[in-house]
């Protein structure tokens, strides 16, 4: 592979790119890889989760612009490119029974039609590797599940010149991964590591909830060493200040302990058109030098 390597990360909302695979992206940027974040929605219906900003009338009235500005800041921190697919946040429905999704939102789009928007971006950027969410969305937010659906269609369709001919010249990505950073082995290791050091763990409730819901184990195939970029990841995450409380649970594990106990970010290889050996430590395994 004499061409510059290119990675596309497909995410549902602004801030997802900073909470899922951000250290990996920063690592690859440092190595000269061209990295593009495709953000499906503007995050307009996301709740203001930072208690310090709740009730701010300006933010509530201009949430779309605020979240776009936060995305710009995070993009600069990570060193990536970023494009909006232009869909409207579906929100996370709550209640029993669940209310209907808002008219016109991302999750109610025709999958094939929405995939065409992503196909166009794939053909323009020409990524060798794409990361996205699994069929459960990582967690069952309707926008995350829709992101999975259009990513799967677009991965196959982008390389087929008969599909979406109006979207540009065909380009076939070579590998597709699911983000699996919130996995049980990592959570257990950090939980037990904190307790062994006499420190409080924020993960006890997480592990109990996993037991209650009998969360299925995912197959972790790829462990990207990126501990040197954890600080950049956290800085990018904090840039999404309407979503992230800098004093909240994301940052309760001391950085030195994170780096010592679990210095990688994890992925599940979902599709590969190249030969590779599992487990991997590189999203471009089987692509480099081919």
pLDDT digits (tens, 9 = 90+) for 240-267: 999 998 888 789 999 999 999 999 999 9
Within 13 A of 118's CA, how many CA atoms are on the CB side? Answer: 36
Question: Helix (H) and strand (E) counts for the chain?
Answer: 10, 7
Q: What is the mean pLDDT of residues 283-288?
A: 96
| Residue 13 in marked binding region | yes
Using DSSP bridges, classify how beta strands 34-41 and 6-11 pair: parallel, antiparallel or unpaired.
parallel
Q: How far apart are CA 236 and CA 248, in angstroms?
A: 15
pLDDT digits (tens, 9 = 90+) for 62-88: 999 999 999 999 999 999 999 999 999
Contacts of 117 (CB under 8 A, 6+ apart): 85, 86, 87, 150
Contact present, 23 and 45 (Cβ < 8 Å): no
Q: Which two tokens stand for residue 237?
A: 């995450």
Domains plus CATH for the chain?
6-182+219-272 (3.40.50.10320), 184-217 (no CATH)
Q: Which two tokens stand for residue 146?
A: 């829709």
* Res 40: pLDDT: 98
pLDDT band of 2, cuts 50, 70, 90:
very low
> Does residue 1 carry a pLDDT above 50?
no
| Residue 144 in marked binding region | yes
pLDDT band of 214, cuts 50, 70, 90:
low
Look up residue 160 and give its DSSP letter: -
Q: Which two tokens stand for residue 284?
A: 């471009």
Total-model pTM: 0.95
Instruction: Please report the DSSP string for 39-88 in residue order.
Output: EEE--TT-----TTTTT-HHHHHTHHHHHHHHHHHHHHHHT-EEEEEEEP
Contacts of 96 (CB under 8 A, 6+ apart): none
**Dihedral angle computed from the Cα positions of residues 30, 32, 33 and 36, in that order, rounded to the nearest 10 degrees:** 70
Percent of the chain at pLDDT > 70 equals 98
Query: Rounded to the nearest 5°, which phi and psi values hold at 282?
Result: -150, 125
- Kindly report which listed range (102-106, 169-173, 226-230, 247-251) carries the lowest average pLDDT score: 247-251
* Res 82: pLDDT: 98
pLDDT digits (tens, 9 = 90+) for 109-118: 999 999 999 9
* Res 169: pLDDT: 98
**Count of CB atoms situated within 10 Å of the CB of 110:** 9
* Res 215: pLDDT: 66
């Amino acid at each position: 592979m004499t061409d510059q390597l290119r990675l596309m990360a497909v995410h549902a909302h602004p801030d997802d790119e900073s909470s899922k695979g951000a250290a990996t992206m920063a690592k690859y940027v440092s190595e000269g890889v061209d990295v593009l974040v495709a953000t499906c929605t503007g995050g307009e219906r996301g709740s203001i989760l930072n208690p310090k900003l709740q009730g701010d009338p300006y933010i509530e009235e201009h949430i779309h612009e605020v979240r776009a500005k936060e995305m710009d800041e995070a993009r600069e921190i990570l060193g990536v490119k970023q494009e909006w697919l232009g869909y409207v946040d579906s929100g996370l429905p709550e209640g029993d029974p669940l209310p209907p999704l808002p008219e016109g939102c991302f999750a109610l789009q025709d999958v094939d039609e929405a995939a065409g928007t992503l196909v166009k971006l794939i053909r323009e950027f020409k990524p060798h590797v794409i990361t996205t969410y699994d069929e459960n969305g990582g967690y069952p937010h309707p926008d995350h599940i829709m992101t999975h659906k259009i990513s799967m269609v677009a991965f196959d369709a982008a390389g087929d010149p008969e599909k979406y001919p109006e979207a540009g010249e065909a380009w076939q990505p070579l590998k597709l991964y699911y983000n699996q950073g919130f996995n049980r082995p990592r959570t257990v290791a950090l939980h037990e590591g904190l307790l062994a050091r006499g420190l409080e763990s924020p993960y006890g409730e997480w592990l109990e909830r996993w037991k209650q819901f009998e969360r299925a184990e995912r197959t972790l195939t790829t462990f990207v060493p990126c501990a040197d970029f954890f600080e950049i990841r956290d800085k990018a995450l904090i840039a999404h200040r309407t979503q992230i409380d800098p004093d909240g649970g994301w940052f309760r594990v001391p950085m030195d302990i994170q780096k010592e106990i679990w210095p990688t970010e994890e992925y599940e290889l979902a599709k590969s058109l190249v030969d590779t050996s599992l487990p991997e430590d590189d999203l471009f395994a089987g692509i480099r030098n081919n």
